[in-house]
Structure 1
């Protein structure tokens, strides 16, 4: 297939784009600079210079492609509208990337036993309402003749398969520990996130391009772990002392409001059955703790 992908210079999008090229697809990637364009060419990806604000360009590229993946931003409504405009009535696949912080509780590192499933999503918090509205816009595109999907990733671990980029969450804990010599988690670190390895994510996107029933929402997970366990695994990998609690205000000063409260300080516990039942997805990597202890540091040297 000829696939147009936004975010091809990022961790998720770059890994997906590289994986699809290896599967024999022709991939065109949106990039912001000539430097990023050179990175794409080296990976066998055809670059297109532009930004998510270039609506006419996005619509044109979407209309030319056999399928479209948005992996650049979960929060840019204008880009999603432009891509849908280029796909209306085509029955082509449009795979949009969201994230499971949409069910995050901003608990300050405290435990929650609440687990969400795909067909029973809660009302979003005020912080996440705009993102959920975009997810719903994508799902509703099924009524316009677009084979749309929302892939709602949980905490993604693993090393980039494409350009050398970091994932969002665990590398922040690692960098703070390397800088200070102390591994820290938000509050008591009892908060739990579902998680998934990047290689399994790439496989799911490839399956969704081929098999997705229009208007389907997917939680993407193959396990879960508490942040205290993940941060202590980082401490073990670095040869440091046990991870320590960190007051939320200090975590916000280091990582910002969004990352401290949602990315690292919330519970986001979900179960995904659609990927397994509708697409035949079978994740191969199921232990984030094993990956942190045995692979996280070595892969960054």
Structure 2
């Protein structure tokens, strides 16, 4: 298959590109600049310059593709409403191009909006007003029209050596600044996690399956106590760990506090059975503790 991949130079997208090409697929990656596309070209992929706001570029990329994997999303959360609207329009554009054909569209979502109880693949959450990203809701609306759209939900930590963004680096930065790696209360709230190499295989298996309206959970560890993650960060940085009250956490973590204290275990049993997927990489705590985990 020729896969049109958005976010092809990103933390997840670059790994998905390698996974797809290793399995014999060709990849045309959407990137914002030639410099960012150099690694993909070096591996044998093709590069298209543009962004999710470039509707004509997206349409041309989709028209030439046998399938689409969408991993791109901006990191400037101060513009979350604008970014979410841009992404929704992009997914709708993909649906317009693929309407009436069995070509698959796989989009990215997550579990940030789920709190309490174990998330399952059959869940169909509504858009969270505080974080109005609607990628999966848009994909499921396409599926209702018979378009082969599906969703990969990623846990809040897609970890791996060399990680420079995401929750682990952000939490490490807070710990360095404050001189302590903290957790809230007893730190028993659960975080799902996956290594990015295992995550990439879920995307490949999902686009190869080409199903309509399914959600897959790229979750290797269904719930790691947050205290264990905080302690691993502390050991990596040579800093003590400390329990905070919810009030103290607001001042310590700032906007990250609501994610730190969130309890969101997620099952991947159906995904494992349906896709024949079995995680192979190291878990998040052991990964963070590797001396060369982060620069």
What interval of TM-score do these two structures reach, taking the shorter chain for normalisation?
Answer: 0.7 to 0.9
Relative to structure 1, the CA distance from residue 43 to residue 183 in structure 2 (aligned partners, 3 Å threshold; closer, same or farther) is: farther
Q: Identify the match of residue 276 of structure 1 among 248, 264, 272.
A: 272
Q: In 2, Cα distance between the equivalents of 1:158 and 1:300?
A: 11
User: Does structure 2 conserve the Cα–Cα contact (< 8 Å) formed by 1:185 and 1:245?
Assistant: yes
1:84 paired residue number: 95
RMSD between aligned residues:
2.4
Moved more, 134-143 or 193-202: 134-143
CA distance in 1, matches of 2:177, 2:40: 31
Match of 2:55 in 1: 55
Cα 1:56–1:123, aligned 2, differ >3 Å: closer, same or farther?
closer
Structure 2 distance, partners of 1:233, 1:299, is 11
> In the alignment, is residue 151 of structure 1 matched against residue 152 of structure 2?
yes
Q: Which moved more, 1:21-30 or 1:174-183?
A: 174-183
How far off is 1:203 after superposition? 0.9
Q: TM-score, normalised on structure 1?
A: 0.84
Is contact 2:188-2:227 (8 Å) kept? Answer: yes
Q: Compared with structure 1, are the counterparts of its residues 201 and 62 closer, same or farther at alpha carbon in structure 2 (3 Å cutoff)?
A: same
CA distance in 1, matches of 2:219, 2:5: 22
Matches within 5 A, 1:94-243: 94-103=105-114, 105=115, 114-121=117-124, 123-128=126-131, 130-131=132-133, 133-159=134-160, 166-185=164-183, 189-223=187-221, 224-243=223-242
1:116/1:159 CA distance change after superposition, 3 Å: closer
| 8 Å Cα contact 1:159/1:166 also seen in 2 | no
Pick which of 118-127 and 18-27 moved more. Answer: 118-127
> Do structure 1's residue 17 and structure 2's residue 17 form an aligned pair?
yes
* Unaligned ranges ≥5, structure 1: 106-111
Match of residue 108 from structure 1: none
**Would the alpha carbon gap of residues 166 and 84 (structure 1) be closer, same or farther in structure 2, given more than 3 Å must change?**
farther
TM-score normalised by the chain length of structure 2: 0.85
Q: CA separation in 1, counterparts of 2:159 and 2:20?
A: 18
- Mapping of residues 22-33 of structure 1, within 5 Å: 22-33=22-33
Moved more, 145-154 or 135-144: 135-144
Question: Partners of 2:43 and 2:176 in 1: how far apart?
Answer: 31
Aligned residues: 281
Deviation at 1:279, TM superposition (A): 1.2
1:3 shift after superposition: 0.8
Q: Name the structure 2 match of 1:260.
A: 257
Per-residue deviation, residues 253-293 of structure 1 (Å, max 9, x unmatched): 4xxx3x4323x331222212331122111112363222222
Kept in 2, the 8 Å contact 1:157–1:167? The answer is no
Bigger shift: 273-282 or 8-17?
Answer: 273-282
- Measure how far apart 1:188 and its partner are: 5.3
